[in-house]
Amino acid sequence: MDTTPKHGKIAFITTPDFRKNRPIVAEAFVYRHMYSLCQFFTVVTTGRTHDEFLCKILNRPLSKTKKPFRKMIEDDMRFKLQNQSDLVKWRDTIKSGLEPTKPSYPGMIHIAYELVEGRLDAVIHLTDWMDKSAKPDSAVLSREANVHNVPAATDVDTATAFIESWHAKIARSSKKTGLFREREENKNPPLRNIEKNDKVIALVAHDNMKLDMCCFAVEHAAHIFSRYDYILSTGTTGGWLKRFMEAAGRGRDEIKRIRCCNSGPLGGDLQIAYAVVEELCHEIIFLQDPSVSHAHDSDIRLFEQAVLHKDVNVKLATNLASARLLIGV
């Protein structure tokens, strides 16, 4: 078991189109870099990248590993492969450093959530050129990395440059600190202490719909607070809800049950999407303003895909008439 101290947590993802269209490049990246990545970092990866790509490579015997790939392994490990046991060391180091998540959109939402919460130091997300427009999850991860100033590489050359820079910094210092920009974890995460058996509703409203949402919530406040243990909301809407409820004379303990996530542009929709795929929230009222475009439109699209995912059971209302039926008033 490798006991090298970890210097941080990074994400490694390959999109289906990247694996399909550039299979040799994808495999070569693993052979050239994955051992040292998993030696020095915790590497979180989506379920399909782990199960359908990495595990197939890791379980390949030495005799079936092509000579150029063997040379890449030797360069990364810094010693010559003599037999199958050497390959086992390579494989076991990688496996022990990997932290697989769920497949597809839920896995990407998990990784993006870790980034927003300050627990992810860098992203290697190898993508095909069509992925940015065709896959909301790819666009979201890139956008959130830029919003939160987290290093993100979407191509092999950039990822290789990152890795070489990290290795050089590690070689110059024996300390685990200083490799990445210091980021503070959220000291009061909105999902703290929420359990799967709690009754949770999310109230999300964009732009000109915020007032409608607040009026609706105040009108039905007694019913909402008696029916739900927690109310999740994006940052600005949640702040409005608290002020409206206070003005309406609701109690302090009730108002504390309104949990404010980040604002939408800073990842609030994503935090609620995470609550949905983790089965912490089963009902959503999501009032979008169709007259206004949003810089975080990809987050909204990913949120909608999370709600519609085959493994997710959630009730969604997108207007006030539907909302009344959803909460039973």
d(Cα 310, Cα 61) in Å, to the nearest integer?
Answer: 36
Which residue in 76, 137, 269, 299 is the catalytic one?
Answer: 269
What is the phi-psi region of residue 36: left when phi exceeds 0, alpha when psi lies from -120 to 50, beta otherwise? alpha
Beta strands in 194-252 (DSSP E): 200-205, 230-233
Judged on CB neighbours under 10 Å (0-12, 13-18, 19+), 304 is middle
Distance of CA 168 to the CA centre of its chain: 28
Locate 264 and state its tokens.
Answer: 């939408």
* Amino acid present at 53: F
User: Please, which residues have CB within 8 angstroms of residue 141's CB and are 6 or more apart in sequence?
Assistant: 11, 13, 108, 111, 112, 115, 123, 125, 152
Identify whether 269 is a catalytic site residue.
Answer: yes
Query: What single-letter DSSP state applies at residue 184?
Result: P
Pairing relationship of beta strands 200-205 and 230-233 according to DSSP bridges: parallel
In order of 30, 137, 219, the CA distances from 329 in angstroms are: 55, 35, 10
By annotation, the residues acting in catalysis are 269
